[in-house]
């Protein structure tokens, strides 16, 4: 690589990318996981390994397989959220449809013990008690995208953009 171009690339701002999968059960409850490295709950997912050439969709699938033991191809993109840094680089969070899990799939969940303590199904109305306000808004926007078929929601800190 040309040294001037390499220096230019090194000078560009850094942005993190995360990807998660939104799974539901037949009753419409959302699958959440409880990490052991921070308080609260979240969706199955994590950091996209962009240095390895991983796409957000590939990252969502890999992280889901690692965290809950289900290797499921993500469905459509439901939301993209620009999350301001607040002490870390900004994050672009991609949220994909994981579909409705059968009772057999739910019974097959195996947690990644190095990172997760437990999992549970949570009614959409109860999400604020488990997720941060930004994550709650993101999941609600994704559920609205599913219900209306309007395509992915464009968000900024969980709020509709534009």
CA-based end-to-end distance of the chain: 38
Write down the pLDDT at residue 94: 98
Write down the pLDDT at residue 88: 82
- Segment 82-119, tens digit of pLDDT: 999 787 889 999 999 999 999 999 999 999 999 999 99
Mean pLDDT of the chain: 93
CATH topology of domain 15-160: Nucleoside Triphosphate Pyrophosphohydrolase (3.90.79)
Write down the pLDDT at residue 1: 66
Mean pLDDT of 137-141: 98
C-alpha–C-alpha distance, residues 70 and 106, integer Å:
9
For 145, half-sphere exposure in the C-beta direction (CA atoms, 13 angstrom radius) is: 22
What share of residues in the chain are helix, strand, coil (percent, to 5)?
A: 30, 30, 40
User: Among residues 61, 66, 73, 71, which one has the least CA distance to residue 116?
Assistant: 66
Share of residues in the chain with pLDDT > 90 (%): 82
Domain borders along the chain are 15-160
Mean pLDDT of 128-137: 96
């Amino acid at each position: 690589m040309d040294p001037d171009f390499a220096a230019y690339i090194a000078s560009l701002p850094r942005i993190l990318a995360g990807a998660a999968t939104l799974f539901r059960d037949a009753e419409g409850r959302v699958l959440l996981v409880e990490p052991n490295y921070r308080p609260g709950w979240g969706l199955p997912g994590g950091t996209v390994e962009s240095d390895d050439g991983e796409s957000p969709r590939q990252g969502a699938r890999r992280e889901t397989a690692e965290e809950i033991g289900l290797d499921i191809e993500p469905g459509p993109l439901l939301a993209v959220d620009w999350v301001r840094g607040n002490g870390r680089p900004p994050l672009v969070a991609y949220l994909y449809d994981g579909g409705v899990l059968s009772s057999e799939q739910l019974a097959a969940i195996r947690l990644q013990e190095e990172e997760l303590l437990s999992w549970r199904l949570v009614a959409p109305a109860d999400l604020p008690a488990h997720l941060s306000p930004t994550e709650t808004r993101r999941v609600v926007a994704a559920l609205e995208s599913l219900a209306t078929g309007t395509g992915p929601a464009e968000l900024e800190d969980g709020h509709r953009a534009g």
